[in-house]
Chains A and B, each alone.
Chain A
Amino acid sequence: MSSPASEMRGAPAVGAADAVIDATGVHRWYGEGDARVEVLRGVSMRVLRGEKVAIMGASGSGKSTLLSILGCLDRPDAGGYRLDGVDVLQLSDDEVSDLRLRRIGFIFQAFHLVPQLTILENAEVPLFYAGVPLRERHDRAKSKLEQVGLGHRLHHRPSQLSGGEQQRAAVARSLVLEPPLLLADEPTGNLDTENGKAVLALLDRIHAEGRTIVMVTHDSAIAERADRTVHVRDGLIVDSAHAPAGKATA
């Protein structure tokens, strides 16, 4: 399956040569006329390759909507968005699906593993959509699960695992196609401290391997582990603080 993205890699905006995420003036609203509610009111955000960025904000601030747009699940009503150099707004539904499949790994607060499938089968799901042959699917999913320490749980159902194990399985699933970008929505929100730490350590390791991570959290302790933190309030980015060793622009 050919990736439409590679053909569409046009001349990127100045200074965005190595930006994985390049959103400019993103607006998102619901409803029409007087009933129109603006959730995002012109958000611009750029994340460079290899960065680890935390997004913080109160509930209702628009951070979830922002993450949906960054993850190509939603489209902005105005503004522009390039993911890995590709103009997302120009793509068809199939092409956006392919973008999610190959360039973005999703991690959800509620893990979102498919309940009737085993851990191994869950991890095979993206490989199937990518057209990887049967045997290879199995091997690659297995090796990813082994990397997150679930080699002994391959044939368990999600309901038979602890929350931490489920989230690690979800991480493995998000990585089987080696996407450059990992989007995490409150990855430790449903976990106890112990398991949360393990998952965060795992994310650190993935980051260290060179992957870009954008993570929504409301826990400032977690946000501190990021290279920088972006604060969202009332649909606007109010502050983009650099971590001490910051190497980013915004």
Chain B
Amino acid sequence: MSALNVTAGFVQLAFRNLRGYKLRSFLTTLGVVFGIASVVTMLAMGRGAKEEILREIDKLGIRNVIITSVKPAETKGGAAQRTWVSAYGLRFKDLDHILATVPGIARALPVHSYAEQAWFGSRKEDVVVQGVTAGHFDAVKLKVAMGRDITDDDNRVRRGVCVVHLGLLRALGWFGDPIGFRLQVGEQVYEVVGILEDEEFRGLARQALSSPAPSQGEVYAPYDTVITRVGLMSYTRRSGSFEASNVEINTVVVEATNQDDVLVVSRMLRTLLDKTHDVKDWEIVVPLELLAQREKAQRVLDVALLTIAGISLLVGGIGIANIMLATVTERTREIGVRRAIGAKRRHIVGQFLTETILLAGAGGILGVGLGWVGTFIVGQFTQWEARFTPDVALVALVVSCAVGVMSGILPAWRASRLDPIQALRYQ
């Protein structure tokens, strides 16, 4: 007798038996259905979150350490300072210093930015002009969708060109060919040479780089052009008074040669700046650290959710075991008849175990279906990304069958131990 024949026989037998108890079978599986559905949804959500993080890794420039100049907290009375020019932040010599002393740096790209208004006809938009060097887009994972990048040549000859988002031009009311458009920013004119790909997703690095202005309102121009044209001073109107500030470098994007060095590099940068700056007029953002925090939080959440799902699955399994025990009692006489006819104990075990596994397996299939719907609903009504994949379904089915085995063992064993004579006489 081949194993396949026996298995097929037990499955056929189980189907025939369960057919006699349709409603009960359905209700019995419900516990597993919901258990598996929640497991599937949890796994899908976990998978989605992981993918989101991975995509962030890709977009972040995970090897970057971003140093930003920040205005130090005012320590003296405000009135006296009002007319002063405050000079703070990263200086040119800091950049040289960093490059000279910190090892493991592939490149350190300075950014000089200032806030201005772009205008076209009667429309105005707030923008941040970012003076960047060649390689900046590559380092912060910005992509040029149309036209070209900012080059070394642009910087050398201080060309008045820029790369923007198409949305800025649309907001200003320009719907013609963006390349070659002469963008008026304050008193300067920059010719658009490239259009950035729209970010369907705003990475943490970008958030660190471009706040507080909206990313749409960024005008990327050659670093040297910006320095030459507008100088290092920037003026901000604040509560009726002008405030002038002198910041040589607003941001430095430091790229480590490899990912393992990022944390070391960031530590060294901190130490260096601590030593050379009297006040804390700088800030370091390490995307890798942010990522690690996110992943840690995600893992905690994953474990919590899966524990809850696992508990509901356990409850479902106990439900099946309970019903199967009752079923064994109810079908005592059938068991006696089968034994009298010539069933061995293992036949009885096989019969009830197969029935239980089939119930749990059917519950698993229904649960995967429900979980798939659940995943879809979660995706629709929340910001969370949930990703339903076939391997999640497979895991769920295997788990549900395992639940079937676990909850079937006791009832099946008990059924096989019944005394045939007493079982036959059972009313």
Contact in complex: B21, A97 (CB < 8 Å) = no
Shortest distance from the beta carbon of B251 to any chain A beta carbon, whole Å = 75
Contact of B8 among A98, A125, A134 (CB under 8 A): A134
Report B390-427 CB contacts with A as 1/0, cut-off 8 Å: 00000000000000000000000000000011001000
Residue of A at shortest CB range from B347? A129
Closest Cβ–Cβ distance, residue A161 to chain B (whole Å): 16
Partner of A131, one of B1, B21, B338: B1
Is B78's CB within 8 Å of the partner chain A?
Answer: no
Number of A-B pairs, beta carbon distance below 8 Å: 78
Q: With an 8 A cutoff between CB atoms, is A46 at the interface?
A: no
Q: Tell me the dominant secondary structure on chain B's binding face.
A: helix
Report if A250 contacts B (CB, 8 A): no
| Contacts known (A73-B420, A112-B424, A134-B5); A129 close to B343, Cβ less than 8 A | yes
Closest B-chain residue to A113, C-beta based? Answer: B337
Give A97 to B420 CA distance when docked, in angstroms.
11
For residue B314, give the distance in angstroms from its CB to the closest CB of chain A.
30
Stretch of A10-18, A48-56, A115-123 that contacts chain B = A115-123
B344 & A98 in contact (Cβ 8 Å cutoff): yes
Q: Is the CB of B342 within 8 A of A102?
A: yes
Known: A98-B342, A100-B340. A112 touches B333 (CB 8 A): yes
Asked whether A133 and B5 contact (CB < 8 A) given A73-B421, A97-B344, A128-B13, the answer is yes
A 61-81 contacts with B by CB, 8 A: 68, 71, 73-74
| A74 in complex: contacting residue of B13, B20, B343, B421, CB < 8 Å | B421
* B18-44 interface with A by 8 A CB criterion: 19-21
Whether B8 contacts A116 by the Cβ 8 Å rule is no
In the assembled complex, the CB of B59 is this many whole angstroms from the nearest CB of chain A, namely 58
B339 CB–A CB distance under 8 Å:
yes
Q: Do A117 and B342 contact each other (CB < 8 Å), given the known contacts A112-B337, A131-B5, A134-B5?
A: no
Residue of A nearest to B342 (CB): A101
Q: How far is the CA of A108 from the CA of B341 in the complex (A)?
A: 11
- Closest B-chain residue to A112, C-beta based? B337
Select A97's contact among B1, B337, B342, beta carbons within 8 Å.
B342
User: Is the Cβ of A121 less than 8 Å from the Cβ of B421?
Assistant: no
Interface size on B, residues (CB 8 A): 28
A73 near B340: Cβ-Cβ < 8 Å: yes
Q: Mark A102-118, 1 if CB is under 8 A from B, else 0.
A: 10101010001111110
CA distance A73 to B342 in the complex (A): 10
**Cα distance, A102 to B342, chains bound together (Å):** 8
A144 near B: Cβ within 8 Å?
A: no
CB under 8 Å from chain A, chain B span 236-251 = none
What are the residues of chain B within 8 A of A130 when measuring CB–CB?
Answer: 342
A94 within 8 A of B: yes
Per the bound structure, the CA–CA distance linking A177 and B343 in Å amounts to 13
Q: How far is the CA of A96 from the CA of B20 in the complex (A)?
A: 30
Give the distance in Å from the alpha carbon of A126 to the alpha carbon of B341 in the complex: 6
Docked pose: A99 CA to B339 CA in angstroms: 11
| A97 and B17 form a contact (CB under 8 A) | no
B261 at the binding interface (Cβ < 8 Å): no
Contact B16 A106 (CB under 8 A): no
Cβ-defined contact, A114 with B21, below 8 A: no
Kindly list chain B residues whose C-beta atoms are within 8 Å of the C-beta of A35: none
Please provide the chain A residues from 147 to 199 with a CB less than 8 Å away from any CB of chain B in the complex: 173-174, 177
Q: Is A93 an interface residue (CB 8 A)?
A: yes
- Interface pairs (19), CB distance under 8 Å: A73-B420, A74-B421, A93-B344, A97-B343, A99-B342, A100-B339, A101-B341, A108-B337, A112-B333, A112-B337, A112-B424, A115-B334, A116-B19, A116-B20, A125-B341, A129-B338, A129-B347, A133-B5, A134-B12
- The residues of B with any CB-CB pair to A shorter than 8 Å are 1, 5-6, 8-9, 12-13, 16-17, 19-21, 333-334, 337-347, 420-421, 424
